[in-house]
Amino acid sequence: ISMGGMIAQELALSHPRAVQGLVLGCTTCGFAHGAPPRPEVLAATAQAGALTQQERIRQFLLAAATPEFLERAGREFWDWIIAGWLAAPTPWETIARHFVAIQGFDTYERLPQVQAPTLIIHGDRDLMVPVENAGVLGQRIAGSQVRIVPGVGHLFFWEKPEESARAVVEFLSAVPAAA
């Protein structure tokens, strides 16, 4: 998922025998050849250093999930998320390094070398890693399957957990096991 999907691409490219099936969720091959985050997400990220940890968490969720999901989730969800993230806060410097790593990431030219059966799954309302990135990955990875989950954002697996899990399980169940 997200940056983890970028890491998974590198794993599949560097160690193809170790990867029997690959699931890439709400990720990109790099913004040089993919769609960058929406302008409002970039603007909010630029201001995040001046925010408190709690405000950063709220800002992240507002960009990562649809307003409808956050409204339905209610106060208990917000309290649970904020308490969990505040229990072990990630320093802002670490988050900033995360964004620098993402900006330099690029597997576009190497993607045709991916050998593993691949499922690309993405929410159609993702502001952080726009859904257009799923199409780029799908075009570059031969034989890949693209599954767009309608009505959800970057956290598609929270917003529609049953549909998301079913798609992943169905895909991986069909991947042949290694001899």
**Pairing of β 118-123 and β 145-149:** parallel
Of 93, 77, 101, 94, whose CA–CA distance to 155 is shortest? Answer: 77
Residue 94's pLDDT band, with cuts at 50, 70 and 90, is confident
Q: Using the predicted structure, report yes or no on whether residue 49 has a pLDDT greater than 70.
A: no
Angle at which helix 39-47 crosses helix 53-64, to 10 degrees, equals 170
Average pLDDT, stretch 158-163?
A: 96
Q: Which residue has the higher pLDDT, 2 or 53?
A: 2
Angle at which helix 67-87 crosses helix 53-64, to 10 degrees, equals 150
